[in-house]
C-alpha cells in the first residue's frame, strides 16, 4: 500500500512560520505608512517598489501558482480513487455541496445584515467618491469589462472544459480542472488494472513533489507579505483608508462574526469538534491564506493541516479541500454581498428585500464561480451589479482597500474549507480519525 507524505520539508527550529507572517505584516504596514508620511515623492522609494518589492511579491505568487494545477489535479484524482466506489463519491459530493451552500448562505446573510446595520455607503463624502473613482478609472474599466464577459450560464457550461490544456492556462476555468480530475478518478475506480495502478502511482509521486516544493516556497511568505503591505500602505496612506473606514469596518465585523461565531458553532454542532482545538490547529493555514490572498496557493498547507493537525481522513480531506479551494468561498461571497449593497447606498439606491434576496442567491453562485486567485471576486461583483442595476464602474471606489480585504476574506475562505471538511468527515461516519490523538490535543488546548 502506498503511503503519502503530505508533510512539507522539515521546518527549521525557531519561530513558527505564521508568527513570522504576522511580523512581516506589521513591519510592512508600519514602514509603508511611515514612508508615505515622510517621503511620498522620493524617486528612490518608487524605484524600490517598482524594481524590488512589487516584483518580489509577484514572483512569490508565481512560484505557488505554477504548482497549483498539478497539485489540484493529483490531489483530487487520488482523493476520488481512494474512495473505492462511485456510490461513496456520490454521497461525499452531495454532502459537500449541501454543507457548502448552507454555510455560504449564512455568510452572505451575515454580510447583508451588517451592511444594512452600518450603512457604510451613507458615510461616504461625495467629493471623495469622485476623487477615488477618477483615480481608479482604468482599473475599474478593466474589471467591468471582465464582469461583462461573465454569465452565470457560462460558469455552468465551463465546468465541463472542451480543452483541458486551455482550462489549465485560464484562472477562470479552475472548476474545469476539478471536473476533469473527477472523471479521471472515477475512471481509475472503474478500471482497476496494472496500467491504471501505474498511473495512480505516478499521481502519488506528482502530489508528493508538489507538496514538497510548495513547502519550500512558502517559507518566503513573511517577506512577501511585508512587501505586499509596504506597497499597499505606501501608495494609499491614511487618507484613502480614512475615507473608506466604514466600509472596511463593515467587512471586518461581518468576517469576524462569521469566522468566530458561525464557524465555531458549525464545527461544534455539526462536526463534533472543539472550536478551540479547531482554531489552534488551523492557524497556520489561516495565516498562510492571509499572506498569499489565494485559496488555491494555500491548498498544500490546508491539506497538510487537515491530515496532520486535524487528523481528518485523507480521502475526505483531499476531495473536500481540493473542491473547496476552487468553489467554496465563504468570505468572498460575504464580501460580494456587502460590496454590492455598499455601492447601491453610495449611489442613493434603496434595494428592497426581494432584490437583496436576489443578491444573496447571486453571491452564493458567485462564490462558487470566483477564481481562487487574488482579487478574483471583483469581476463577479461587477457582474452582479450589472444584473441588479447598479453602475459597475463604482467598483473603483473600493479598489484601494481591496488588497487588504482580499487577504482577510481569503483567510476566512480557507478556514471555512477546513470547517466544512471537519463536518463532512464527521457526518460521513468516517471513523479513521485518530481519536486518541485528538483527545490529547484537546487536553493540551484546555
Number of structural domains in the chain: 1
Q: How far apart are CA 135 and CA 157, in angstroms?
A: 36
> Cell numbers at residue 244, please?
473608506
Query: Looking at the domain assignment, is residue 14 inside a domain?
Result: no
- d(C-alpha 239, C-alpha 389), whole Å: 30
Q: How far apart are CA 206 and CA 75, in angstroms?
A: 9
Query: What pLDDT was estimated at residue 13?
Result: 54
Encode pLDDT of 181-223 as tens digits: 888 988 888 888 899 889 989 998 998 898 888 888 888 888 9
* 240 belongs to a structural domain: yes
Query: 362 falls in which pLDDT band (50, 70, 90)?
Result: confident
- Decide if 82 is inside a domain: yes
**CA proximity to 78, closest of 211, 214, 206, 215:** 206
Q: What is the pLDDT of residue 7?
A: 47
pLDDT tens per residue across span 3-23: 444 444 444 457 777 778 888
User: 24-28, 35-39, 306-310: lowest mean pLDDT where?
Assistant: 35-39
pLDDT of 330-358, one tens digit each? Answer: 888 899 999 999 988 888 888 888 888 88
**Residues 399, 234: contact at Cβ < 8 Å?**
no
Burial class (CB in 10 A: 0-12, 13-18, 19+), 332: buried
In this structure, the number of other CB atoms found within 10 A of the CB of residue 353 comes to 7
**How far, rounded to the nearest angstrom, does the alpha carbon of residue 205 sit from its chain's CA centroid?**
26
Residue 36 within a domain? no
Backbone dihedral angles phi then psi of residue 316, each to the nearest 5 degrees? -80, -50
Distance CA 121, CA 104 (A): 24
pLDDT of 151 reads 62
* 320 assigned to some structural domain: yes
CA distance 261 to 280: 16
pLDDT tens sequence across 300-317: 889 999 999 999 998 888
Higher-scoring residue by pLDDT: 93, 261: 261
In a domain, 293, yes or no: yes
Residue 124 lies in a domain: yes
Query: Directed axis angle between helix 68-81 and helix 314-327, to 10°?
Result: 140
* Calpha distance 185→75 (Å, rounded): 10
Q: Where are the alpha helices (DSSP H) in 158-220?
A: 164-168, 174-190, 194-217
Alpha carbon 420 to its chain's center? 14
Widest distance between CA atoms in the chain: 70
When pLDDT is averaged across residues 72-76 and rounded to a whole number, the result is: 83
The candidate with the shortest Cα–Cα distance to 417, out of 308, 301, 291, is: 301
Residue 242 has pLDDT above 80, yes or no: no
Residues whose CB falls within 8 Å of the CB of residue 292, separated by 6 or more in sequence, listed in order:
61, 64, 221, 224, 298, 374, 410
Q: What is the pLDDT of residue 143?
A: 52
Planar angle of CA 149, 150, 152, nearest 5 degrees: 150
Higher pLDDT, 319 or 400: 319
The rounded mean pLDDT for the chain is 80
CATH number at residue 282: 1.10.3860.10
Among 334, 417, 320, smallest CA distance to 380 is for: 334
Produce one character per residue of 358-392: b if its CB has 16 or more CB atoms within 10 Å, e if not. Answer: ebbebbbbbbbbbbbbbbbbbbbbbbbbeebebbb
Residue 34 belongs to a domain: no
| Residue 93 belongs to domain spanning | 66-445
Q: What is the pLDDT of residue 2?
A: 44
C-beta of residue 11 within 8 angstroms of C-beta of residue 20: no
364-383: pLDDT as tens digits = 877 665 555 555 677 778 87
Amino acid at each position: 500500500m502506498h503511503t503519502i507524505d503530505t508533510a512539507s520539508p522539515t521546518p527549521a527550529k525557531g519561530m513558527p512560520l505564521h508568527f513570522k507572517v504576522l511580523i512581516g505584516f506589521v513591519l510592512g504596514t508600519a514602514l509603508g505608512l511611515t514612508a508615505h508620511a515622510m517621503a511620498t515623492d522620493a524617486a528612490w522609494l518608487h524605484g524600490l517598489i517598482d524594481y524590488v518589492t512589487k516584483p518580489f511579491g509577484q514572483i512569490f505568487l508565481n512560484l505557488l501558482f505554477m504548482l497549483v494545477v498539478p497539485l489540484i489535479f493529483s490531489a483530487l484524482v487520488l482523493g476520488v480513487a481512494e474512495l473505492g466506489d462511485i456510490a461513496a463519491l456520490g454521497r461525499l459530493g452531495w454532502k459537500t455541496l449541501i454543507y457548502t451552500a448552507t454555510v455560504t448562505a449564512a455568510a452572505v446573510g451575515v454580510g447583508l445584515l451588517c451592511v444594512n446595520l452600518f450603512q457604510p455607503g451613507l458615510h461616504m463624502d461625495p467629493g471623495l467618491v469622485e476623487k477615488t473613482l477618477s483615480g481608479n478609472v482604468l482599473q475599474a474599466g478593466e474589471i467591468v469589462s471582465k464582469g461583462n464577459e461573465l454569465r452565470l450560464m457560462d460558469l455552468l457550461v465551463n465546468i465541463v472544459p472542451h480543452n483541458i490544456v486551455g482550462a489549465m492556462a485560464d484562472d477562470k476555468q479552475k472548476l474545469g480542472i476539478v471536473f476533469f480530475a473527477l472523471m479521471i478518478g472515477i475512471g481509475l475506480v472503474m478500471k482497476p488494472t496494472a496500467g491504471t495502478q501505474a498511473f495512480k502511482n505516478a499521481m502519488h509521486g506528482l502530489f508528493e513533489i508538489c507538496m514538497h516544493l510548495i513547502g519550500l516556497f512558502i517559507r518566503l511568505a513573511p517577506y512577501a507579505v511585508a512587501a505586499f503591505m509596504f506597497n499597499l500602505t505606501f501608495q494609499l496612506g491614511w487618507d484613502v483608508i480614512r475615507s473608506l473606514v466604514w466600509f472596511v469596518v463593515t467587512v471586518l465585523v461581518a468576517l469576524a462574526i462569521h469566522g468566530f461565531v458561525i464557524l465555531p458553532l458549525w464545527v461544534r454542532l455539526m462536526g463534533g469538534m472543539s472550536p478551540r482545538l479547531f482554531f489552534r490547529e488551523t492557524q497556520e493555514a489561516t495565516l498562510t491564506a492571509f499572506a498569499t490572498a489565494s485559496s488555491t496557493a494555500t491548498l498544500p498547507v490546508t491539506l497538510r493541516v487537515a491530515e496532520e493537525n486535524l487528523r481528518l481522513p485523507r480521502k475526505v480531506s483531499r476531495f473536500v479541500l481540493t473542491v473547496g479551494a476552487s468553489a467554496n468561498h465563504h468570505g468572498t461571497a460575504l464580501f460580494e454581498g456587502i460590496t454590492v449593497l455598499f455601492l447601491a447606498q453610495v449611489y442613493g439606491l434603496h434595494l428592497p428585500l426581494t432584490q437583496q434576496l436576489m443578491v444573496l442567491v447571486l453571491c452564493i453562485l458567485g462564490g462558487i464561480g470566483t477564481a481562487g486567485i487574488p482579487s478574483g471576486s471583483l469581476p463577479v461583483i461587477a457582474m452582479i451589479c450589472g444584473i441588479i442595476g447598479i453602475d459597475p464602474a463604482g467598483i473603483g471606489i473600493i479598489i484601494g482597500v481591496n488588497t487588504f480585504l482580499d487577504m482577510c476574506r481569503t483567510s476566512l475562505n480557507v478556514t471555512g474549507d477546513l470547517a466544512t471538511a471537519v463536518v463532512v468527515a464527521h457526518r460521513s461516519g468516517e471513523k479513521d480519525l485518530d481519536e486518541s490523538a485528538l483527545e490529547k490535543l484537546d487536553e493540551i488546548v484546555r
